[in-house]
Structure 1
């Protein structure tokens, strides 16, 4: 794999991030420790170095598995990202949320499970609508100054909150968010309304979760006896079926799998993007790695964009309409000038 910089930093990460939510079976699904080790080995052997986890994945077991694995590896080779916010125990009222107390407690617990002295990238997992953003940024900056965290990032948070946070951090000389993790795929393009333009403005790398739409974009739900997708499902509905069929058509034309097309689309959108791709089997990882041998043509991108297009709402659509009007006026004035 090639490497790219994560946001406005000098940190080099591989082209896609390995999602580890499925490492462990405490939630009734996932990969056992031996299989998880094998997946991380295959990822590293392919040049991958970016691991994504969280304090709550598989009730903490995911971090424990990664910690045991890293003890057998060169820790500095890997860029380890984890998260805090969601409740990981019932000990006290502050065992969840974005507040400083939970942040500090969660980081200490993650460091123990991961068996490491530092976390490379710490994400705020989800905005709680309670904690002031300056409390969050100051806490993250303190952890970075202490050497327990190297970089700050944020996930599943409104664009205006992230923008306020990075502006405040720049003013105060605190560490800024360098990455933004949100759901983004051909069947979930709403981040294009506010979140992605904001990330581009601040030079943040977008790290999409569910870039395959929870498996919908692989086409597996359209094959065999499973028939058509249920209309009431959030990701499995008539619209996602229509989009997936276009993905599958292009995949057939190129002689690749549908997942390759869907993954590469996220990486060819004109902004810094490092998709998070999970795996609970070696075969899944090996198939996803092939996506990076693919380059979609302008014609393929146009077909995918048209099939998955969403209304931007106000003011996005208004800006588009205004641009059309201004171009029309500009053309008119050009003609007037030429005649005169």
Structure 2
């Protein structure tokens, strides 16, 4: 495994982050039948740790909070707390009630405490706002996050998908007031969705912010040839909203990827993940794993090097898209009951 610093912080993270959305109670929250319960999840945490991964990402709404519970319990069994980096997120509503969601001071303080309880930890290494909140002044959000850091409940803060101007506004608000700035951006980036290259990636590079993209395999579409389906691809409503399987440019990219994988003798997923390391400010793509070969392909990606002509081959068919995953363009998120 290779390691890097997360943005301009001193925090050392593996070049891959294990996304823990796949692990949780299938009866809780807004995820599908592809989730793994605690016993089924345990081998993947072990495989990740043995492969050198020390970076784990979850969120308070994943499976009604049970993702955090499983993540905290299994890491507590298998790893030393000072050697691993744990990240979680807050924003999406966790109950149908006032203040039970968003980035207000009240909501973030409550979310932080509840996440620590579910994780069974005294602190998280990275606390992220899951989306931008139009209803809350950014000054209130940034001061609340600063206070959470100063209490020691989170060591660093990060943000997830938003417009570049919003991220720049948040960073400047923190700077102007002497508050804690974001060290990371968790955004959507993959061979099928490269809109972040226009403004967000250059901004992160200039600001010294580490990029930790979600959906680096486009919800699995970059891990298998055209026409192949999985349980998740059939039931994942969010994936169907983000990616249109009939898109001709996307189909051309997947075909080019499959041909290159066959030519090189590497897995499609390995090459698609390795492409991320050619992007500016890239720290650690967030990978999902529900089968052993998922992690095997991801770990192999860290050692792959793509030639310039191979990168050009994969990128050539791309066509611009409307922004998605920024808190708009997604199907309505069903509010869920999260354990406090």
Identify the TM-score tier after normalising by the shorter chain: 0.7 to 0.9
What is the aligned partner in structure 1 of residue 279 from structure 2?
269
Correspondence 1:144-155 to 2 at 5 A: 144-155=149-160
Answer with 181-190 or 20-29: which moved more: 20-29
1:199 is displaced (CA, Å) by 1.2
Answer with 203-212 or 27-36: which moved more: 27-36
Instruction: Report if aligned partners of 1:24, 1:65 keep a CA contact under 8 Å in 2.
Output: yes
1:280 aligns with 2:290: yes
Aligned mate of 1:182, from 180, 187, 197? 187
1:157 is displaced (CA, Å) by 1.5
1:161 is displaced (CA, Å) by 1.3
- Cα distance between partner residues in 2 of 1:9 and 1:145: 16
Aligned length: 308
What is the aligned partner in structure 1 of residue 14 from structure 2?
14
Instruction: Report if aligned partners of 1:7, 1:205 keep a CA contact under 8 Å in 2.
Output: yes
Correspondence 1:32-111 to 2 at 5 A: 32-72=37-77, 73-90=79-96, 92-111=97-116
For the aligned residues, what is the CA RMSD?
A: 2.2
Answer with 12-21 or 249-258: which moved more: 249-258
Instruction: Report if aligned partners of 1:35, 1:281 keep a CA contact under 8 Å in 2.
Output: no
1:148 is displaced (CA, Å) by 0.3
What is the TM-score normalised by the length of structure 2? 0.86
1:25 is displaced (CA, Å) by 3.4
Larger Rg: 1
- Cα distance between partner residues in 2 of 1:98 and 1:258: 38
What is the aligned partner in structure 2 of residue 236 from structure 1?
245
Answer with 158-167 or 108-117: which moved more: 158-167
Correspondence 1:116-195 to 2 at 5 A: 116-195=121-200
Rate the CA distance shift 1:8–1:288 in 2: closer, same or farther, 3 A. same
Deviations 1:81-101 (A, max 9, x none): 0001111123x3100111110
Deviations 1:202-225 (A, max 9, x none): 11111111111111112344349x
Instruction: Report if aligned partners of 1:219, 1:245 keep a CA contact under 8 Å in 2.
Output: no
Q: Where does structure 2 lack aligned partners over 5 or more consecutive residues?
A: 230-239, 324-340
- Cα distance between partner residues in 2 of 1:312 and 1:33: 37
- Cα distance between partner residues in 1 of 2:53 and 2:242: 34
Q: Where does structure 1 lack aligned partners over 5 or more consecutive residues?
A: 225-230, 314-340
Rate the CA distance shift 1:98–1:206 in 2: closer, same or farther, 3 A. same
Structure number with higher relative contact order (C-alpha < 8 Å, ≥ 6 residues apart): 2
What is the aligned partner in structure 2 of residue 335 from structure 1?
none
1:309 is displaced (CA, Å) by 5.1
Instruction: Report if aligned partners of 1:133, 1:161 keep a CA contact under 8 Å in 2.
Output: no
